[in-house]
Amino acid sequence: MMRPIHFVAAAAALFLVPGIAQAQDRAPCGAGMVCASDPETVLHALEKAGLKVTRSADNEGDPMISADGAAYGFDVYFYGCERHKHCDSLRFQIAFRKDGENTVELANKWNVSKRFIQASVPADGRFVVSYDVGTIGGVNQRNFADTVDWWQSMLGELGDFFQEELKLKPKG
Amino acid sequence: MAALLAAAAPIPAMAQTGYFDKPAPDRIIDIAQPEVVVQTLQEEGYKAVLNTPKDDQPYIQSAANGSSFTVQFYGCTGGKDCTSLEFYAWYKKTPTFTTDFANRWNSSKRFMSVSIDSDGDLALYQYVSTTGKTTYANFADDIDWWSQMNGELDKFIDEEDAKVAATPTAPDAKKR
């Protein structure tokens, strides 16, 4: 069964983009914009999308937001930060527990046929789905809301995909 | 992302011209319109040619790091007012391109994803919502991520090729 690991996924999210220097966004977040450099703007935009959100910090002390979504709860990580501030991008992510069903072939099948969100099976055997958003220059509310909408609707498709591919019994 | 150029292969325009030499980076642009995306790619130093097939969604032919790529639009009405776009390229099948290879990339890199399609070719893609307009600086950052990660992928492939002693074929834009 695909069970998400909520709040526990931070560790793996931090090893990405090795070999590239971290960037920061030092510009002030424009009025009405959503910016990783101003985590409250992200929090409020997620709330506006109807999600129940909790702000915390990941293992490195960078900002992190956990959200309860329609299909699955998910986490939003902040990247490209400098001393936990001036972050330049976001990563929406869910990690599902290690399971024999979490195969590289299953992830590739998703990636070939579905848009926006990416699936992978890191070395620790979890099944991870994610979507990255750059916020340099600011993202306006409508565009950010549409990205959240894409993320949530693709998570809904992910549930169907699991049921179909893994022959799970329908919910409820 | 603009500051990440230290690690990059030579990329036209971005490092030298920066945001400061251009019209306001905080100006709002409507990337739901393919011609605005063409203009922005060109301002960022890329070639960009718009194609609007009669019975299909518009796409732009462009190139980064000497490799061609396309920007495919989705959800358009009459070739305009598109709801999303996809940066896309592909590399012809080689012994390097296995689902394990694609998965190693996907589990360690951001923004650009890869997959092995039914022909065994490697597909590269990055999706962006075009709804509600955005700032010039934000879309320039998307282009920058795509370009940077293309460069990263080339290095990643070279490392894998060294292991399997295979040579990738130069990529060529194609539609999925």
| Structure ipTM | 0.87
Chain B residue whose CA is closest to A20: B7
pLDDT at site A100: 86
Q: Do B103 and A107 touch (CB under 8 A)?
A: yes
pLDDT at site B163: 84
Average per-residue pLDDT for chain B: 86
CA B116/CA B98 separation, integer angstroms: 7
Contact (Cβ atoms closer than 8 angstroms) between residue B32 and residue B133: yes
Determine contact: B141 vs chain A, CB below 8 A. Answer: yes
CA A60/CA A74 separation, integer angstroms: 19
Indicate the angle between helix axes B99-106 and B136-164, nearest 10 degrees: 140
Residue B171, SS3 per DSSP: coil
Element (H, E) at B155: helix B136-164
Band (pLDDT 50/70/90 cuts) for residue B93 is very high
Record the pTM: 0.85
Strands (E), chain B: 28-29, 48-51, 59-64, 67-74, 84-91, 113-116, 122-129, 134-135
Task: Give chain A's radius of gyration (CA, Å).
Answer: 16
Q: What is the pLDDT of residues A73-121, one digit of tens each?
A: 999 999 999 999 999 999 999 999 988 899 999 999 999 999 999 999 9
**Chain B closest CA to A63's CA: distance in Å?**
18
Which of residues 44 through 63 in chain A touch B, CB cutoff 8 A? none
**Residues of B in Cβ contact (< 8 Å) with A122:** 107-108
Closest CA to A32 of B93, B144, B119, B135: B135
CA A52/CA A68 separation, integer angstroms: 5
Q: Is the pLDDT of residue B121 over 60?
A: yes
